[in-house]
Structure 1
């Protein structure tokens, strides 16, 4: 079954002939870049959008991974932080982020002679609340992983099978996902969260989030790691470090990290009506 899906993914790119990949360096878009390059060679181009919501470390990873794949890789700046509909952080914030991304990539693709812009959306993403997917579709982007029916676990399986050394890399959505809906997003807040997460990763904790709410940082780790974290971490030093970044309070989420946690506060009626919500001002 997995081999059939990989064959389908390759066939999708063969039919495209030329493709520009919206490449974040995450596990999904890097698999897309790998297969696109294997099929299309120099007729595939990976583009990474650079903005305050992207950790510098993630950008470094994206460049290293692109070099390993062999695909041509370029950077463009996006300016979603200048859009008040984005910084107000409504429940459909991702719609405005992906609108900015694809409004930047589509003209670039056409100018360079690429008829298709593709992203790393996988089959599982279609089951979650992802307003950014609609923004991409409205602008003609395609999602080869989803078209081939490849789910998240299969992305990792295929990445390992194809020799990608980062096949088990933790998911790393944009830093704006660390804030509760309705709290304004600023560059300073994004940088504060980013520094806190980098600090924890340097201590050896990989699959984590630092959620920010007002002056409070809430650390999320895998549930099975919480006890070890409490007993092995220099907590006073950690608190002092986080306070130097601008937080006042530092807490630990006892439930632990869980993907999609940000959306648990939303009820179905909110999700249904949120897609076209626009914040005035």
Structure 2
């Protein structure tokens, strides 16, 4: 038995011991694989919950709905306004902690309504050691991280997903739209709209791995793409500038450092998750 197959067996053994589970669902590769495995082990005794908000890219919501339909997952979508939480709107460095606390309250309410004892999410071994205040919050609220307990990392998740012919096995990681705004700069709905629509436009131009980061209340948009995409971005410059200026961005810049997941976290140090 290969290494990841042994880990998959451990994952299934964890889930089979539950009467029913609620899965924090986003439509990304991590939560999707967890949901599919849960359905395979528990049948209909699973519930995926997508907490939709202005922080969630519209493309992610659309994909989540499509995936749930394709794989027959039980999905419930609920609306949430995280900007009503002062620490989230003010974009403090622990923003994600407070945001996840709010989401956990919603998940717990739904779990209680459906008599579900266990709430799970797709946090995995690759998330350990990164700045993840949200994971600290979910652990405090009793959310289970079965991938971590089974020793499963991101590469394992992608390999398992590929082996079971999951179409999104190589889907780039996504993140909430607030992560595109510097810490301590107040988050406004108008800024989130610019980021969401701007990145969707870049995706349509086939920049699958990209970020549009806003500075100075949206006055400047800093685009991150992998270095091998620089030439293509320059060729598409006129269309990109026109689109972003149409959204309200005054200055459009290409970050010569290239694509960096969590680039704003790199300016503030690191907080290790030891959950």
Fold shared, TM-score > 0.5 on shorter chain: yes
Specify the alignment match of 2:151 in structure 1. 149
1:81 aligns with 2:83: yes
Task: Determine the C-alpha separation between the residues in 1 that align with 2:11 and 2:269.
Answer: 35
Runs of 4+ in 1 over 4 A off after TM superposition: none
Preserved contact between residue 79 and residue 100 of structure 1 (Cα < 8 Å)? no
Unaligned 5+ runs, structure 1: 273-281
Preserved contact between residue 220 and residue 253 of structure 1 (Cα < 8 Å)? yes
1:229 aligns with 2:242: no
Preserved contact between residue 41 and residue 71 of structure 1 (Cα < 8 Å)? no
Unaligned 5+ runs, structure 2: none
The structure richer in helix per residue is 1
Aligned-pair distance for 1:236?
Answer: 2.5
Preserved contact between residue 122 and residue 143 of structure 1 (Cα < 8 Å)? yes
1:127 aligns with 2:129: yes
Aligned-pair distance for 1:205?
Answer: 1.1
Specify the alignment match of 1:216 in structure 2. 220
Aligned-pair distance for 1:187?
Answer: 1.1
Aligned-pair distance for 1:239?
Answer: 1.1
Does the residue aligned with 1:76 lie in a helix, a strand or coil?
strand
How many residues are paired up? Answer: 268
| Cα deviation digits, residues 110-156 of structure 1 (max 9, x gap) | 22111011011011112211000111011110011111111111111
Give the TM-score, by structure 1 length: 0.93
Task: Determine the C-alpha separation between the residues in 2 that align with 1:208 and 1:87.
Answer: 24
Task: Determine the C-alpha separation between the residues in 1 that align with 2:15 and 2:161.
Answer: 17
Specify the alignment match of 2:257 in structure 1. 255
| Cα deviation digits, residues 81-127 of structure 1 (max 9, x gap) | 11111011111110011111101001210221110110110111122
- Measured on the aligned residues, the alpha-carbon RMSD in Å equals 1.2
Give the TM-score, by structure 2 length: 0.95
Task: Determine the C-alpha separation between the residues in 2 that align with 1:138 and 1:31.
Answer: 24
